[in-house]
Chains A and B, each alone.
Chain A
Amino acid sequence: MSGFNLYKYSSPATFYVLAGRLIPWFYAAAALLGAAGLYVSFFLAPTDFQQGEAYRIIFIHVPAAWMSMFIYLAMAGWAALGLAFNTRLSFMMASALAPTGAMLTFVSLWTGALWGKPTWGAWWVWDARLTSELILFFLYLGFMALQAAIDDPRRADRAGALIALVGVVNVPIIYFSVKWWNTLHQGASVSLNTAPSMAAVMLAGMLVMALAVWMYAIAAALSRVRCIILERERNSQWVAQMLGAEPHPHPNLPLEGEGTNVEGI
């Protein structure tokens, strides 16, 4: 297993230190991009001739909705890696992404309701886009509740990974719902094969805000995975050494996770 660099960083001990160094940079990038994005959203982007100022909700709604789906894909990807290679850190990353993904899914639903009321006259409609996004929210909550309900971390990891992978089918449903069904929700604002149906400055504002949310999500997930590593590896030698303390005075008790980065080996 040694010699291949990727395995070095799949060790919780190494990754804990690496993540700790990266977190401030991601928070700083999020703050700078967020400030720039808000400036574009409120001061550079002009008033919409149809929706007035209400349309400015787009600058938080669309980035949150994009990231809610993207984080789910990332979470399912880590879960799949964990199942395939039996790496503890992959499962921990999946768990670390879920609360941030759930929060951003809630933001997209909340801001959608606040945008829907003045433009459609309804806080909520059961159309395909809104309903599938609501299902995404429940998938995140289900993942978290299931993991919280299982005491054995390894079983919790596997059960959560299954939910995460089964739920992946919902992501393309959300994304293509506005094409597949006749929804009240408007079509894609930005798509890969057609020119964006909006002014360049509005598009720029959305993209900068999306990058800000992305950087924030990475910072939050890395902070959370460090907590998870500490919680789960608290019996291991490296945690004790890192905190500069003596190992516990019962050396006959087994130390979990010592020196291995792959479960069960």
Chain B
Amino acid sequence: MVGMNWHSLSEFIHMGGYALYVWGSFGVTALLIAGEILLLGARRKKALTLVRRTIKFGKAENDEDAA
């Protein structure tokens, strides 16, 4: 079903007995990339909040909150 290397989905998942190592590599990498993208989104949100507060209240009040 899936290309020339694999004859079934279970064979693909099994990875010739190396599933732990292969999927452990690709899976953790995918999680780390997804995590970084989420963290970047959170940081942007936080930065925009900080900027809006700075605009509203001025510089002095915000300096202690600077990350």
Q: Is the CB of A234 within 8 A of B62?
A: yes
**Which of A51-59, A76-84, A130-138 contacts the other chain?**
A51-59
Q: Is the CB of A230 within 8 A of B52?
A: no
Q: Is the CB of A243 within 8 A of B52?
A: yes
For B40, give its contact among A61, A223, A249, A250 (CB under 8 Å).
Answer: A223
Q: Identify the closest chain A residue to B28 (Cβ).
A: A110
| Minimum Cβ distance to chain B for residue A262 (Å) | 21
The complex places the Cα of A56 from the Cα of B18 at a distance, in Å, of 10
Q: Is the CB of A114 within 8 A of B48?
A: no
The complex places the Cα of A64 from the Cα of B29 at a distance, in Å, of 9
Q: Which residues of A have CB within 8 Å of B16?
A: 47, 52-54
Q: Identify the closest chain B residue to A228 (Cβ).
A: B47
Number of A-B contacts (CB under 8 A): 121
For B29, give its contact among A45, A47, A111, A243 (CB under 8 Å).
Answer: A111
Q: Is the CB of A43 within 8 A of B25?
A: no
| Minimum Cβ distance to chain A for residue B33 (Å) | 7
| Minimum Cβ distance to chain A for residue B29 (Å) | 5
Residues 53-66 of B, flagged 1 when their CB comes within 8 A of A and 0 if not, give: 01111111010001
For B51, give its contact among A110, A234, A249, A254 (CB under 8 Å).
Answer: A234
Q: Is the CB of B22 within 8 A of A57?
A: yes
Q: Is the CB of B5 within 8 A of A249?
A: no
Q: Which residues of A have CB within 8 Å of B52?
A: 243, 245
For A111, give its contact among B25, B33, B48 (CB under 8 Å).
Answer: B25
Is A100 an interface residue when CB atoms closer than 8 A count as contact?
Answer: yes
The complex places the Cα of A57 from the Cα of B24 at a distance, in Å, of 9
Is A21 an interface residue when CB atoms closer than 8 A count as contact?
Answer: no
B25-41 residues at the A interface, CB under 8 angstroms = 25-26, 28-29, 32-33, 36-37, 40
Q: Identify the closest chain B residue to A118 (Cβ).
A: B21
A-B contact pairs, 24 of them (CB 8 A): A42-B3, A43-B3, A44-B3, A44-B4, A45-B5, A52-B16, A53-B22, A54-B16, A54-B22, A57-B21, A64-B29, A99-B36, A107-B32, A110-B28, A110-B29, A111-B28, A114-B24, A114-B25, A216-B33, A227-B47, A230-B47, A230-B48, A234-B51, A243-B51
* Known contacts A46-B5, A231-B66; 9 further A-B pairs (Cβ under 8 A): A44-B4, A45-B5, A53-B16, A53-B22, A117-B21, A118-B18, A231-B47, A239-B55, A243-B55
